[in-house]
Amino acid sequence: MCRVISAILALSALNSFAQTGELEAHWEIALPVSYTISERWKMNTTVTSRTGFYRQEQAADNLELFVNFLEVTQYATYRATHDISLTVGYRYRSINPTESSGEREHRLMQQIGIIHLRSPTRIASRLRIEQRFRTDDFAHRIRYRLSADRPLQGEKLDVREFYGIISNELVSQFGNEVDTNLENRISVGIGNKWGQSSKIQIEGQIRSDDILDNPVNTFYLMTGLYFNLD
């Protein structure tokens, strides 16, 4: 089954690279902090920033720095069973905060997460529904992600050991004053459990926007420092 999952994700990645269109590159930094409040409830607070550094426009390469957004997200997760969790969340995002044309976004999120396989390779899926409120538009978003991760130095992940991660996500959006489109996101990365309750993770992600019509490819380098306060 793991080989089938890897093959599907690899084909999606090849399709993303094969698409024509403009290309942008961004660096995203996240700081998620998780903490348990009861036997079944867990909270997560994440601060994220994204800075762009490359734009390809009309066959011209442009290196420039531009702040895409700063955001704060709060999740509350209920563990329904050993393998199923239900999550609600709220996100506040400041878009283009250094520009006078910057705007604000509020986002509500509801999701279900399922762990299909745990050891040594963990395979999980996530279905998320979002309502995105901006100054001039409102959009519904439906997202489905399939992911896999595995220790790279044995059957069990211990402190100071590395693990590999791969995922693919489809994102569809529709709503008032928003063009309906379908986006594909393929991610590959590596992480290290550098403490008993902390880890660092680096991922490369290709997003192909509007894949059914006029795709625009965006590359993201995503780094995260994860802390668990339990």
Residue 7 has a pLDDT of 43
Residue 57 has a pLDDT of 62
> 87 versus 134: which is more confidently predicted?
87
Q: Mean pLDDT score of the chain, rounded to an integer?
A: 87
Average pLDDT over residues 23-28: 86
Whole-number percent of the chain with pLDDT over 70 = 87
Residue 21 has a pLDDT of 52
- Residue 61: is its pLDDT beyond 70? no
Q: Write down all domains in the chain, each with its CATH number in brackets.
A: 2-228 (2.40.128.140)
- Distance of alpha carbon 34 from alpha carbon 198, whole angstroms: 10
- Residue 98: is its pLDDT beyond 70? yes
pLDDT tens per residue, range 161-207:
999 999 999 999 988 767 778 999 999 999 999 999 999 999 999 99
- Quickly state the pLDDT bin for 123 (edges 50, 70, 90): very high
Indicate the residue type of 118: R
Residue 175 has a pLDDT of 83
Residue 210 has a pLDDT of 87
Task: Calculate the dihedral angle through the C-alpha atoms of 135, 140, 144, 149, rounding to the nearest 10 degrees.
Answer: 20
Average pLDDT over residues 112-127: 96
- Distance of alpha carbon 124 from alpha carbon 153, whole angstroms: 21
> 154 versus 10: which is more confidently predicted?
154
- Distance of alpha carbon 103 from alpha carbon 100, whole angstroms: 9
pTM of the model: 0.86
pLDDT tens per residue, range 2-14:
444 444 444 344 3
Q: Under 8 Å CB-to-CB from 138, ≥6 apart: which residues?
A: 131, 132, 175, 176, 177, 178
Residue 224 has a pLDDT of 97
